[in-house]
């Protein structure tokens, strides 16, 4: 079963149980307070717009959505692709990697192969790739921080909404259970948005970034080693340090298997 589907199913079930748990008791309709919702949501968004430019907020939203719906290739898949590219470079030279780059599904791999084919030295290639990785990490840190900042803002505006409700309800003489529920509702909303929306989104962006950083560093190391004309066996050994021991054992190819794959790949190229 698709891991993304399992995650979405888990989110839906837990969210349903969470909502049922809140509204299953007596007086649940008192928590549906439109004024409190508006104070928390509008206040949090307004403060976010004051804290960050619109472009940063829009990009952060897109990254957040992407972190849930996009599928990052596994390290095993990348290692397999790099080994095949290494064989291709051995047969047809580094310039043949341009075609491989056009077929690559990972944007960073396309970029790395393009730089390699353009004739950059190994040192220049390393500098460009790791500079891109560094700035990618910095951008993602900013985008995750946007949601952490909103997680701080939401409870604060919940408290503001509570104070507004105290002033409003006291002025009209409301007291007792109804008064307590209306006063506490915005605090509840603020905490829910913080703990159930903004913090999880921020953490998911961070986790997704760590996955992508591993893939980017794996690609950078692989392309640099291909540029240095490492033989395929040594390349495999170096790249497998990026994957778990279990995946490493499952994927490891012997020298004979690599040679057989090389010959098979070479014959298929000659036939085409």
CA distance linking residue 186 with residue 39, whole number of Å: 8
Q: Domain segments of the chain: what residues?
A: 32-271
List the structure tokens of 146.
């946007």
List the structure tokens of 20.
């049922």
pLDDT at 255: 52
Residue 38 region by backbone torsions, left for phi larger than 0, else alpha for psi between -120 and 50, else beta: alpha
pTM of this structure = 0.81
pLDDT at 260: 63
Host H or E run for residue 10: helix 3-23
| Cβ–Cβ < 8 Å for 239, 218 | yes
List the structure tokens of 55.
């472009």
| Cβ–Cβ < 8 Å for 136, 35 | no
DSSP-derived 3-state class of residue 185 = helix
CA distance linking residue 83 with residue 81, whole number of Å: 5
Burial group, residue 229, by CB count within 10 angstroms (0-12, 13-18, 19+): exposed
pLDDT per residue rounded down to tens, the chain (272 residues): 566 667 667 777 777 766 666 566 555 555 667 778 888 999 999 999 999 999 999 999 999 999 988 888 888 888 888 888 888 887 777 777 777 666 777 889 988 988 888 888 889 999 999 999 999 999 999 999 999 999 999 999 989 888 887 777 665 555 555 556 667 788 888 998 999 899 999 999 999 999 999 999 999 999 999 888 888 778 888 888 888 776 665 555 555 566 666 666 566 655 55
CA distance linking residue 205 with residue 137, whole number of Å: 11
CA distance linking residue 78 with residue 220, whole number of Å: 11
Backbone angles phi, psi at 25, to 5 degrees: -85, -175
Any idea how long the chain is? 272
């Amino acid at each position: 079963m698709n891991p993304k589907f399992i995650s979405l199913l888990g989110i839906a079930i837990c969210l349903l149980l969470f909502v049922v748990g809140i509204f299953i008791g007596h007086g649940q309709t008192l928590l549906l307070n439109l004024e409190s919702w508006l104070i928390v949501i509008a206040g949090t968004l307004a403060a976010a717009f004051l804290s960050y430019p619109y472009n940063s907020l829009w990009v952060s939203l897109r990254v957040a959505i992407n972190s849930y719906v996009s599928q990052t290739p596994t390290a095993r898949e990348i290692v397999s692709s790099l080994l095949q590219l290494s064989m291709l470079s051995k047969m047809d030279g580094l310039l043949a990697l341009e075609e491989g780059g056009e077929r690559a599904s990972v944007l960073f791999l396309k970029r790395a192969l393009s730089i390699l084919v353009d004739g950059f030295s190994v040192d220049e290639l390393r500098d460009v790739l790791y500079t891109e990785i560094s700035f990618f990490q910095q951008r993602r840190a900013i985008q995750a921080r946007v949601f952490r900042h909103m997680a701080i803002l939401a409870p604060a505006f919940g408290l503001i909404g509570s104070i507004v409700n105290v002033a409003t309800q006291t002025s009209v003489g409301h007291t007792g259970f109804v008064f307590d529920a209306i006063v506490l509702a915005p605090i509840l909303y603020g905490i829910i948005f913080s703990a159930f929306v903004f913090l999880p989104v921020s953490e998911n962006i961070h986790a997704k970034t760590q996955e992508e950083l591993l893939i980017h560093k794996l690609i950078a190391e692989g392309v640099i080693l291909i540029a240095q004309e490492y033989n395929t066996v040594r390349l495999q050994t170096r790249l497998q340090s990026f994957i778990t021991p279990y995946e490493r054992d499952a994927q490891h190819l012997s020298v004979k298997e690599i040679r057989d794959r090389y010959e098979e790949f070479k014959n298929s190229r000659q036939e085409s």
